[in-house]
Each structure stands twice: as C-alpha cells, then as structure tokens.
Structure 1
C-alpha cells in the first residue's frame, strides 16, 4: 500500500477538523489536548512523517507518557484510547499502515483504579468557601463553587440552570434537560429533578442575583443563573475556577508541598492544574457525595439528589471505608 506522507501536527489538525461537527465542544478540546502530547513526542523523536509509525514506536510513546509523574493511570488510559482512535482515522486517509491502531496497547484498569479516589475533603471545601466569603463574596466564583459543593451537581447541570429555575420561596432549583438550547443533561430527561437548597445557599444566591449577576441572556434568549458579561458560563470556566481555588496557597496562604509560592509554576493564571493539590470539578462532586454519605444521609436520598444510580454511587463516588459504613449502620441498629 502506498502511504501519503503527513506531518504529525498537520495530521492532528486534519483529524480535529474532520471530527469537529460530531464531537461535543468539551470532547473536541480534550482530544486536542491529549494529542498535543503526541505531537511533542514526535518532535522530540524527530518524526516528521507519520508513515514511519510502527507498533514498537507507539509502545515507546506509551512509556514516554507513563513517565510523566503527574499522569494517573486512568488518565494514561484515556490518552492512549484517544491515540488509538486517531491512528485508526489516519488509516482511512492512508497516513499509516493498515490496522496499525490495533497495535496501540490498551491500558487496563482495575475496578478501584477506574473509580478514581481524588476528592475534595470537607475541610478543603470549607477553606475555599471561607476564603471566597471573605474576599469575593457573592461573586460568580463563590456562587459556582458553593453550588457544586452544596448540591452535588455535575458541571454541565450547574451551567444549565436558568434564573427562573431558582425558586427563592420554595428554596429549590429545577434541573432541566434543554438540549435544543445547548444545555443537555447527562442523563437526559431522566436527570431532571428538583433540588432543595439550604438557607445559606439561598442567601448567597439572592445576594448574587441582587448585587453581582450581570443582566444578560444567552444566544437562545434564556437568562442563565451562572452568568458572565458574555452570557452563560462555559464548562471550561467552571473547571478553571475549581483548579485555581483548590490550590491550598490560595485559600490558606501556605503550600503543603514545600514549594516557593512566588516561583511555583502552578501559580500562573493558566497552570493551576499543575499543583499536586488542585482538583477538578468532578472531585468536588465526589467529595460532596462522600460527605453527605458520611453525614448519615441515606444512599437513596444522595443518589436522587445527585442523579446517580446505586451501582454507580457505590463504585465511583462512595469513598467511605468499610469501618465507616459499619459504624453508620450501627447507629441505625441502636435505634431499633
């Protein structure tokens, strides 16, 4: 088979352009980010024509990525899975040897590894919210972090909220699936629900709406609850807030990793994720769910509030130890 020479960077751009219409914005950005490492590796190896790729070279790339101390095994799996899809696409345009994608070795995860254990602890959440309450009260950052922690909402669900979804009198928010106007829920209409809010969360939302929320609409004429001056907040903005604010140096003024805060690479505006202690928005959700379970909130109540099935709750979110579960069951037995 005659292969057509193609440079790594050009190949990635063609791939992304070809899949632009079928991939969600977040998935598209994720693929671009993951494949940027592959481009870097090709550059370091002086590979300027992907026709040269072999199964052995692809394995060497996997080893190269694995040596990144900040890359977890689940993240390595995700990156290699994306690479396999990319290589398969290259086969379709005669950029690499046929069936080369089958030589991209899969990363196998155990059930524990697949569930991931990174979470935001109650103490860390309290520290972040206390900091925001003191220095950035009722700001978009404050409201966003508080809402994620208090309600256990997914990032996309928080973004989907409209001003009219908040009922101050009933102290609740209505989570609704609106795919036609760019705010779908992960579980579609099955994910729609009413979520009760506490007094302090309502007070914070009331102050946000009265004092700081910009009077804007999104491109569909809807009024987003979490709004910037440009309209509805983006999911990437939520991620940025979480990464930045979960750095201990921000909310505590100290670094648990003995780094010089002034020169630390993770203190840059776009490099917060390089901090070993910073977490993603999903870690807030996992931490909040675990906190609710540790506070003796029944599993079915937590699952209904967070829109999580029992099986998924146990495998991916419940980080209680066996002893913690036993002691909680004991409390119920004592009341019988």
Structure 2
C-alpha cells in the first residue's frame, strides 16, 4: 500500500537531515554530507524539482548520470557521493517525503581493485609550485599555512579541523592530535588516532606568523582557541576543501591553463566550482601525495605509517603511489655493498 507523501522542498529536506545528523555522527561526517548533497540540490534547482514527492528511480538515475559527467568523477568518487545520497533519501522515506524503498533504486558503481588504488595524487612537482607561489605572494595567509601543514604532515583534513592553538608547541616544534568528541572534534580513528607529530623549523615559522599576524582572534562555541579560524569561528572542513581546490588550479599559481580553457569563461573560477578544474586536487590527494613523497625520499614505511596515522597494509594499498621502478631502485640502495 502506497503511503501518503507530504510535500517538501529539497533544500528544506537537506537542512532538516543535517540538523538531525548533528549529535548522531561526527561533525566532519555532517560537513561531508553537506558538501556532497549540495550537488544534488543544485541539480534539482536546475531541473525545476521543488518537491521531493516527485522523485522516482528514473529521476535519481538521471541525477547519477549527470553527476558523473558534471564532476568528471571516477567510480570511487561517484560511489562515495551516491552513498551519501542514499542515506539522505532513506531518511526522507522516514518522514514521508519520498516513496518507501526509493533509496534502494540508487545504484552504486562497483570499482575494481585497481580503480580503488588509482586515485588522484598531488605530485611533488605540483606541490612545490603551489607552495613556491604561496610563500612568495600569500605568505602566512590562511591558504598558505593550511597547504604547508597538509603537505608537511599528510594529515587528514578532519585532523586539521580539530586543532587548537594549545595543540601546537613552537618550542618543541610539534603538534599533538587529541580526540575530543564532546566538543565536536572527533578524530577518524578516535583515541587510537592521538599522536604527536614533529614539525620542521620552516613550518613552525609559518604557523608562528599566521598566529601572530593573520589569524582572526575568535573562539568556538566551546570556548576553545582554534588553530585555523575564519571571522565566524572554527574554519569548516568544506571551506578548507574549497581553499585547497582553489589554490591547486594552475591558473591560480601563475601557470598557463593545461586544458585550453579561457579564465573568463571557465566555471572553475567561481566559488563552489573550483573542483571542476581537472588539475585541482582535494585535501586527501595532498595526503596521498605527501605520503608518497616521504616514501620516495627513503623515509622508512614504519615511520611514515606512524606519522600519518595509517596502518602499513592500508598504506601499501591506498597511499603508496611510487612506481615499481622507484621501489626497486630504492631497494637496490639498501643492498648495495652488502
């Protein structure tokens, strides 16, 4: 028997869904859902869908095809975004906004093992070009400080979000990660993710100058002094992600567009669309690139594993992007002279 549906706009449903998620899941999960659902909301607006009651399996399939093309997404990225949409649609079923069982009609792509491994990575060369530009023209700015820290530490963006000023020790030149779920900054691996991270003198100098000259002096709702802030409070993960996408576009750091696009016409120049530049990368791509960079520089895998907070089996499968030729030459360095 079909139940009676109650009219609800996509935007209202999204706001209700996110409000319901607060307190039930980690704050970074709420922010990730918010970021991913923005594309669905944009699509409904562009297609004149102002009532979720009108959604069907066919409608959602059209969105699936559109999102794959619109974001130029591989199977891994598309699956991640559609999983968030499924959770949202299932929640909509519970409040009589869509037909029961509709979430099951959202088909998730199944990446091969090779596709799971073959995700984008910030190359060392591109990282150096971006940082060289920021060090010269935007020294100790929010974007520069964020990029320096991400590349040097390989931290997850959620871990950077959790940092307070007190977690930074300029004398000992290190950061301390702390799991604080009660004040909305949980770590991905909870208490097991807690650790100290050594920093270089250069990165400490950038952090010192950010804190002294450019950081907005605000507290969060819990009275904590935040390491990364905006004028409104703690810098959100979605804003950090936007900044990373923005500054890793070649046109941003002074390079010619490798995609033959006109800056005046390119949609990736607009806020909220920076990820549409094929050369821009996500914060997690910086993490992968940082890990690969450390490994390529002959830092032992155990050291990299402990520093980056990732198990060695996961490191091998998902993060180590060294080619086999690089690995064999590194092994040769160890055995020469034995």
Same fold (TM over 0.5): yes
Cross-structure match for 2:159: 157
Q: 2 CA distance for matches of 1:44 and 1:202?
A: 46
CA 1:66–1:160 in 2, change beyond 3 Å: closer, same or farther?
Answer: closer
1:129: how far off? Answer: 1.1
Structure 2 residue runs of 5 or longer lacking an equivalent are none
C-alpha distance in structure 1 between counterparts of 2:215 and 2:322, whole Å: 37
In structure 1, how many angstroms separate the alpha carbons of the residues matched to 2:56 and 2:230? 48
Given that residues 177 and 184 in structure 1 are in contact (C-alpha distance below 8 angstroms), is that contact kept between their aligned partners in structure 2? Answer: yes
C-alpha separation between the residues in 1 aligned to 2:48 and 2:211? 55
Moved more, 247-256 or 79-88: 79-88
Give the distance between the partners of 1:209 and 1:13, measured in 2 at CA: 34
Q: 1:324 to 1:16 in 2, by over 3 A?
A: same
| Alignment-derived partner of residue 90 in structure 2 | 88
Q: Which residue in 2 is equivalent to 1:3?
A: 3
Distance in structure 2 (CA, Å) of the matches to 1:40 and 1:213: 33
Distance 2:102 2:255 in 1: 50
Unpaired stretches in structure 1, ≥5 consecutive residues:
none
Instruction: Show the counterpart of 1:202.
Output: 204
**Cα 1:186–1:21 shift into 2, 3 Å:** closer
- Quote the Cα distance in structure 1 between the aligned partners of 2:283 and 2:336: 37
Q: 2:318 aligns with which of 316, 319, 322?
A: 316
Deviations 1:67-111 (A, max 9, x none): 436222222212332333344334434555543433332311112
Matching of residues 130-149 of structure 1 within 5 Å = 130-149=132-151
Aligned residue for 2:251, secondary structure, equals helix
Provide the alpha-carbon RMSD of the alignment: 2.8
Aligned partner of 2:253 in structure 1 is: 251
Determine the structure 1 residue equivalent to 2:267: 265
Q: Give 1:332's aligned residue.
A: 334
Q: Which residue of 1 aligns with 2:279?
A: 277
Is the deviation greater in 106-115 or in 184-193?
106-115
Contact 1:77 1:107 in 2 (8 A): yes
Residues 2 and 99 in structure 2, CA contact (< 8 A), matched pair in contact too: no
Matches within 5 A, 1:1-336: 1-5=1-5, 6=7, 9=10, 12=14, 15-16=17-18, 18-35=20-37, 37-38=39-40, 55-68=57-70, 70-336=72-338
In the alignment, the residues of structure 1 paired with residue 229 and residue 39 of structure 2 have an alpha-carbon distance, to the nearest angstrom, of 33
Q: 1:136 to 1:111 in 2, by over 3 A?
A: same
Deviation of residue 238 (structure 1)? 1.4
Bigger radius of gyration among the two: 1
Question: In the comparison of the two structures, how many residue pairs are matched?
Answer: 336
TM normalised by structure 1 equals: 0.87
